[in-house]
Amino acid sequence: MRLFEGLVDEGYTGAYDSIRRFVKQWKASYKNTPSLKQAIKAAHFRLACSRKMFVVAYLREAQEMVMDAHDKAFAFYGGVTLQMIYDNPKTIVDTVFVGKG
């Protein structure tokens, strides 16, 4: 039902039963295929004022991923924020010093 509602939001004008039949056939065709688990890294952005979220996933965590995630987020939001706060950015920061060190 969620898939159907998402498709309707995108402009789909067909019936729910068509989607249900397609999903049933798709599940049957992929039932016996071996599945592989893949860990992903997600970049999550949220605007402070509106709480509007943006999430993009990558197969690995590297600086290229960080830069691409920022580029996609800024395009999604239509601009760059004046202030950004990062939570545990291991890809950006190598060492965190304590005190005056």
pLDDT digits (tens, 9 = 90+) for 56-66: 999 988 888 98
In this structure, are 49 and 73 located in the same domain? yes
Q: What is the pLDDT of residue 63?
A: 85
Closest CA to 77 of 40, 50, 37: 50
Question: Do residues 70 and 58 lie in contact, with contact meaning Cβ atoms separated by under 8 Å?
Answer: no
pLDDT digits (tens, 9 = 90+) for 24-82: 998 888 877 777 788 999 999 999 888 899 999 999 888 889 899 999 999 999 999 88
- Locus of tokens 């159907």: 4
Q: How many domains does the chain have?
A: 2
In this structure, are 21 and 44 located in the same domain? no
In this structure, are 53 and 100 located in the same domain? yes
In this structure, are 25 and 54 located in the same domain? no
Q: What is the pLDDT of residue 7?
A: 92
Is 88 a residue whose pLDDT tops 60? yes
Rounded to whole angstroms, how far apart are CA atoms 90 and 69?
15
